[in-house]
Amino acid sequence: MLVFKFGGASVKNAEGIINLGKVVNKYTGNQLLIVVSAMGKTTNALEKLTKAYFNQADDVNEIYEEIKQYHYNILFELFDSTDPVFDEVANTFVEIDWMLEDEPHDDYDFIYDQIVSVGELVSTRIVNAYLNKINLKSQWLDVRGYIHTDNTYREGVVQWHKTKESILHHIPALLEKSIVVTQGFLGGTSENFTTTLGREGSDYTASILASCLNAESVTTWKDVPGILNADPKYFEDTIKFDELSYTDAIEMTYYGATVIHPKTIKPLQNAKIPLLVKPFNDPSAAGTVIKEDGHNNFAKPVIIIKQSQVLLSLSAKDYSFISEDHLSEIFRLFAQSHIKVNVMQTSALSFSVCFDHDEDRFKQLLQSLSEGFKAKYNSGLMLITTRHYTPASLKELTVGKTVLLEQVSRNTAQVVVR
């Protein structure tokens, strides 16, 4: 049994969905479970809608109509207007209609998950209908009834025992009869509310399903030839890795490599299931395989760029040394604000930390820190992480930039720059 994951770039238009059908058709001799992300930049658009609705902005309906029209344009390219998929998509959008009719809930993260999740629900309705149209028998599955999480909205924590029990109870029988199409990124609570697993979490969904079903492999189909040593948006002379070990992949995702969600690797490593990263426009290409004994000599350093960073420096209001008690309180407040640390550094009188800029969460953090600490910060920064670096390569990366923080170990260097 194979698990395929198709990201938003691979299903951003009718041409992409037709290509998905061609890829799937090459593997019809296998049991297939297909995980699909929201189409194109739909998640970004739904995030914009969520913020507008929460703030009761004037353009809520305008944003929402643009999202719906984008999907209907794709539908009209793929299907006759009498196809039942039009009603299925309309009924799925009703989940947003119901929310917009009411006053916003005071928990922004809860609203976020109920609205943003509709992107995956709609995309999978369309993909499932298209596969059936081209005579690839397919069954749509609502993943929220199988991946069970706690009530941590936007970062749902998977309840593994309950999840595995639900998956094994129902999905193997479906796979014997047809292809199964389901959503990435989503989970469900015991109260039947929707949670999401963290931004770009569809890879993680595929990993959860594969590990519970003991799949032969997981393939994530991307708009790149495989895993590269650096993002081609920033660097021209990138190279592709043919193989990586689970450990190398975990290190890369931990530091922010966006080609794979950080939580993806561990369930696959535990089950010894290989992860293939392949280009959806060239299905026969080898791509990159991540496995237990994956080997790479790292002829070029791995470079990971994270934009929109904040560098925050904290000191105690009584001018005392930064102690273990201070650090414990700081990390408690970071966890409470759901902010993840990317790099940190301690000196006698201050603690500096770099993290992704989320405006609302950052405001909450500053407010909670204000009682015990003085805070200074810079925003709009870049974090450069390089693994297997050389002194020359590190120097080249910082040419023409102001280095605000630098941390170097044997294998990894991290610099926060402006």
7 is in an annotated binding site: yes
The sign of the torsion formed by the CA atoms of 241, 22, 88, 175 equals negative
Residue 219 in marked binding region: no
Residues 305-317 pLDDT 10s: 999 999 999 999 9
For the segment 95-129, what is each residue's pLDDT rounded down to a tens digit?
999 999 999 989 999 999 999 999 999 999 999 99
Residues of the chain within CATH 3.40.1160.10 domain(s) are 2-291
pTM score above 0.95: no
pLDDT tens for each residue of 337-385? 989 999 999 999 999 999 999 998 999 999 999 999 999 999 999 999 9
Q: Is 319 left (phi over 0), alpha (psi -120 to 50) or beta?
A: left
Confirm or deny that 29 is annotated as ligand binding: no
CB distance 337 to 361 below 8 Å: yes
Nearest to 3 by CA among 276, 185, 242: 276
Token representation of residue 139: 């069954």
- Is it the case that residue 199 has pLDDT exceeding 90? no
Pinpoint the residues of the chain covered by CATH 3.30.2130.10.
302-417
Residue 259 has pLDDT above 90, yes or no: no
Count of beta carbons in the 10 Å neighbourhood of residue 42? 22
Contact of 49 with 64, CB cutoff 8 Å: yes
Could you tell me where the beta strands, DSSP code E, fall in 259-368?
275-279, 288-291, 302-316, 341-346, 351-356
Cβ–Cβ contacts within 10 Å for residue 381, how many?
21
CATH number of the 302-417 domain: 3.30.2130.10
pLDDT reading at 304 higher than 90: yes
Tell me how far apart the alpha carbons of residues 54 and 112 are, in angstroms, rounded to a whole number. Answer: 9
291 a known binding residue? no
Please name the fold of domain 2-291: Carbamate kinase (3.40.1160)
Q: Kindly tell me if the per-residue pLDDT of 58 is higher than 90.
A: yes
Angle between helices 14-25 and 60-78 (to 10 degrees): 50
- The neighbouring-strand residues paired with 396 are none
Nearest to 215 by CA among 1, 43, 32, 363: 1
Whether 406 has a binding-site annotation, put simply, is no
Burial 241-270 (b: 16+ CB within 10 A, else e): bebbbbebbbbbbebbbebbbbbbbebbbe
Q: Which of 195, 390, 385 is nearest to 298 (CA)?
A: 390
Question: What was the pLDDT predicted at 319?
Answer: 81
Determine whether the annotation assigns residue 184 to a binding site.
no
